[in-house]
Amino acid sequence: MKQLNIAVGIIRNTERQIFITRRASDAHMGDKWEFPGGKIEQGESPEQALVRELSEEVGIEASRYALYRKLEHSFPDRHVTLWFYLVDAWQGEPWGKEGQPGEWIPQHALKIDAFPPANVQVIEQLLAE
């Protein structure tokens, strides 16, 4: 079974809005909303991957972030370990740098079923804050 390690950024502004992006329709869990992030490369720490992925995907330079939650999730064809970081300071304005739709959404308006199942516990935790 494929094993993936993923660094994920929960980009939250001072108004408690979170920037989310939509997965490509042909990707694994296509058309679902997600928190930006991606695979941790060989020799990279989760923090290094987070900063790199946020720069590549949404064009920001994360300057302050903290581990929010680490989760394991199994799909029929893969097992993922996800490091979710709460990002509350950055340079630049996030946008869909790879052509993906992106939008700011109030934290309390996150919808569990709009995200991949591996995000459920994190969204429940965010909704409970």
Query: Is 119 annotated as ligand-binding?
Result: yes
Query: Is 57 annotated as ligand-binding?
Result: yes
Say what the pLDDT of residue 20 is. 98
pTM for the predicted model, two decimal places? 0.95
Distance in angstroms (rounded) separating the CA atoms of residues 44 and 26: 27
Provide the pLDDT confidence category of residue 4 given band limits of 50, 70 and 90: very high
Query: Is 69 annotated as ligand-binding?
Result: no
Distance in angstroms (rounded) separating the CA atoms of residues 61 and 91: 5
Query: Is 44 annotated as ligand-binding?
Result: no
Residue range 4-29: mean pLDDT, rounded:
95
Say what the pLDDT of residue 14 is. 97
Q: Which CATH number fits domain 2-128: 3.20.20.140, 3.90.79.10, 1.20.1050.10, 3.90.226.10?
A: 3.90.79.10
Cα dihedral across residues 22, 28, 30, 32: positive or negative: negative
Say what the pLDDT of residue 28 is. 85
SS3 assignment, position 30 = coil
75 has a pLDDT exceeding 90:
no
